[in-house]
């Protein structure tokens, strides 16, 4: 009988390539070179005697056989990982802080990616202001924190840069001879401070008309037509438009997203790496 056993690492590499649509992102998540990732896929294709992935100039596409095999590949990995649970050590816990300005609508997909990386790991996500999360991180209440850039804080790893603009409801119009109405997060939000400084520097009068305890609340105020807010496009609900150029508001810079962590290796590091790789692809 011919041995038809599949290499689990090669199957896992294929699933990562398929889910991320990129050899580069898949290799980054697995912390290996792109050539090593390509070699694993090649070995799997040789084992199955069929082409699973088709490269195009812009992205990666699955062949018909690749799409069919992806379903079974996921099932195989699930059964394989579950097989270790009977002998597994007690569940470990990974606690991550996410800035409210970072935790966007793709958060469920990010959590799913972490869970897929290590289903036996208990994941705790805490969402708050960057300043509060960094305080908890310094007190070792968090294993890692992903926050907006803090000009008073050194260290950390930049994992993405995200563009901010001034947004308002598409039906909103400013009132003449009145300060610009601003919807914002409460102090000590760094985005709030930056937006205020830029408006002051440009000589634009403004006033706070809404202070929300999260980006979701601020976005709701913008949709309701209460005023303008400095937000990233990734966070925007429907019916909101960029009004910065029309109102002559100062340009907002791209703000870095910073990872602070003491985790260097092991299963926690693999799961955190899965999160940051998925986040990069979402920006």
Domains contained in the chain, CATH given: 8-86 (1.10.10.10), 89-157+256-282 (3.40.190.10), 162-253 (3.40.190.10)
Residue 2 in this model has a pLDDT that exceeds 60 = no
Q: Is the pLDDT higher at 112 or at 144?
A: 144
pLDDT score recorded for residue 69 = 92
* pTM above threshold 0.75: no
DSSP 9-34: HHHHHHHHHHHHT-HHHHHHHHTS-H
Q: Which two tokens stand for residue 159?
A: 């994992």
Phi, psi of 14 (to 5 degrees): -60, -45
pLDDT score recorded for residue 204 = 92
Averaged pLDDT, 60-77: 89
Residue entry with tokens 């208990």: 122
Averaged pLDDT, 137-146: 91
Residue 152 in this model has a pLDDT that exceeds 70 = no
Q: Is the pLDDT higher at 30 or at 12?
A: 12
Q: How far is it, in rounded angstroms, from Cα 280 to Cα 259? A: 12
Interval 214-269: pLDDT, tens: 788 888 899 989 989 998 887 777 788 999 999 999 999 888 888 998 888 777 88
Q: How far is it, in rounded angstroms, from Cα 171 to Cα 181? A: 15
Q: Which two tokens stand for residue 82?
A: 């579950």
Q: Give the pLDDT band of residue 171 (cuts 50, 70, 90).
A: confident
Q: How far is it, in rounded angstroms, from Cα 219 to Cα 115? A: 29
* Geometric angle at alpha carbon 258, from 252 and 264, rounded to 5°: 170
Mean pLDDT score across all residues of the chain: 84
- Residue 146 · residue 94 · CB < 8 Å: no
pLDDT score recorded for residue 151 = 62
Give the lowest-confidence range in 73-82, 146-155, 221-230, 244-253. 146-155
Q: Is the pLDDT higher at 141 or at 107?
A: 141
Residue 270 in this model has a pLDDT that exceeds 70 = yes
pLDDT score recorded for residue 1 = 38
Averaged pLDDT, 26-51: 87
Q: Report percent pLDDT > 90 for the chain.
A: 24
Q: How far is it, in rounded angstroms, from Cα 187 to Cα 273? A: 31
């Amino acid at each position: 009988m011919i041995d038809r056993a599949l290499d689990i690492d090669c199957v896992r590499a294929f699933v990562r390539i398929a889910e991320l649509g990129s050899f580069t992102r898949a290799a980054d998540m697995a912390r290996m070179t792109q050539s090593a990732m390509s070699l694993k896929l090649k070995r799997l294709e040789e084992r199955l005697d069929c082409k699973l992935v088709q490269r195009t100039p812009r992205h990666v596409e699955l062949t018909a056989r690749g799409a069919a095999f992806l379903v079974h590949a996921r099932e195989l990995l699930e059964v394989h990982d579950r097989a270790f649970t009977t002998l597994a050590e007690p569940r470990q816990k990974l606690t991550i802080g996410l800035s409210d300005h970072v935790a966007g609508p793709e958060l469920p997909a990010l959590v799913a990616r972490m869970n897929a990386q290590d289903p036996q790991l208990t994941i705790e996500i805490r969402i708050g202001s960057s300043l509060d999360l960094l305080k908890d991180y310094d007190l070792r209440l968090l294993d890692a924190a992903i926050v907006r850039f803090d000009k008073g804080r050194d260290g950390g790893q930049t994992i993405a840069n995200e563009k901010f603009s001034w947004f308002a409801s598409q039906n909103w119009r400013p009132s003449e001879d009145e300060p610009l109405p601003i919807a914002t997060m409460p102090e000590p939000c760094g985005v709030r401070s930056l937006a205020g400084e830029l408006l002051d520097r440009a000589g634009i009068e403004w006033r706070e008309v809404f202070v929300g305890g999260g980006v979701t609340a601020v976005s709701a105020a913008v949709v309701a037509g209460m005023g303008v807010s400095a937000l990233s496009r990734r966070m925007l609900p429907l019916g909101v438009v960029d009004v910065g150029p029309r109102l002559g508001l100062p340009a907002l810079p791209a703000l870095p997203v910073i990872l602070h962590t003491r985790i260097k290796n092991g299963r926690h590091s693999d799961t955190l790496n899965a999160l940051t790789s998925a986040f990069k692809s979402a920006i």
